């Protein structure tokens, strides 16, 4: 498979692949999401940046807070940025999903789980936020 990561022992550790990170134009990070109005990036420490595509130069950072969180999925909605991933503690079994405001980058809510979120395991639909986890569970948050 090569050094791109699929056959690499560290594939799930984002940002350690051959090309280091992914991007949307000038915006780069371990995870990236965008729509017609915003682009958001997140680093391996789950801190990130939200930029307005409609208003060039308008950028704001957001902080994941906890050092042991690793984001593996981002989804931009109409008014929120949804981020999810793994909680890397001694047991290494937990996961999280949280939301940040697009306008100010401030935390809105957070929920933790007893399993890690699957890589890119978030989707948003009219029913709510759909999340899949490493233990095989799929949930819908409303």
Residue 101 lies in a domain: yes
Give the CATH number for residue 81: 2.40.128.630
The pLDDT tens digits for 33-89 are 889 999 898 877 778 889 988 888 888 888 876 678 888 899 999 889 999 998 887
Residue 112 lies in a domain: yes
- The whole-number pLDDT of residue 13 equals 47
1 half-sphere exposure, CB direction, 13 A CA radius: 9
Q: Which residues contact 78 (CB under 8 A, 6 or more apart)?
A: none
Residue span of the structural domain in which 137 resides: 29-141
Residues 134/125, Cβ–Cβ less than 8 Å: no
Residue 22 lies in a domain: no
Instruction: State mean pLDDT over 12-33.
Output: 64
Residue 58 lies in a domain: yes
Judge if pTM exceeds 0.75: yes
- The whole-number pLDDT of residue 139 equals 96
- The whole-number pLDDT of residue 11 equals 47
8: confidence class by pLDDT, cuts 50, 70, 90: very low
Quick count: other Cβ atoms within 10 Å of Cβ 12?
15
16: confidence class by pLDDT, cuts 50, 70, 90: very low
Residue 122 lies in a domain: yes
Do the strands 128-133 and 107-113 form a parallel or antiparallel pair, or are they unpaired? unpaired
Residue 130 lies in a domain: yes
- The whole-number pLDDT of residue 28 equals 75
- The whole-number pLDDT of residue 57 equals 80
Per-chain mean pLDDT for the chain: 81
Q: How many domains does the chain have?
A: 1
């Amino acid at each position: 498979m090569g050094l791109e990561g699929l056959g690499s022992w560290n594939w799930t550790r984002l940002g350690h692949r051959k090309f280091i990170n992914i991007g949307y134009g000038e915006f780069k990070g371990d995870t990236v999401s965008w729509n017609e109005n915003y682009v958001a990036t997140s680093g391996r420490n789950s801190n990130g940046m939200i930029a307005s595509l409609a208003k060039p130069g308008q950028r704001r950072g957001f902080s994941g807070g906890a050092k042991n969180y690793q984001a593996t999925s981002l989804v931009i909605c109409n008014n929120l940025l949804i981020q999810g991933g793994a909680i890397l503690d001694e047991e290494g079994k937990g996961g999280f999903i949280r939301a940040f405001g697009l306008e100010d980058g401030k935390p809105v809510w957070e929920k933790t789980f007893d399993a890690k979120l699957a890589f890119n395991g978030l989707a948003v639909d009219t029913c709510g936020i759909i999340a899949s986890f490493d233990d095989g569970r799929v949930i819908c948050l409303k």
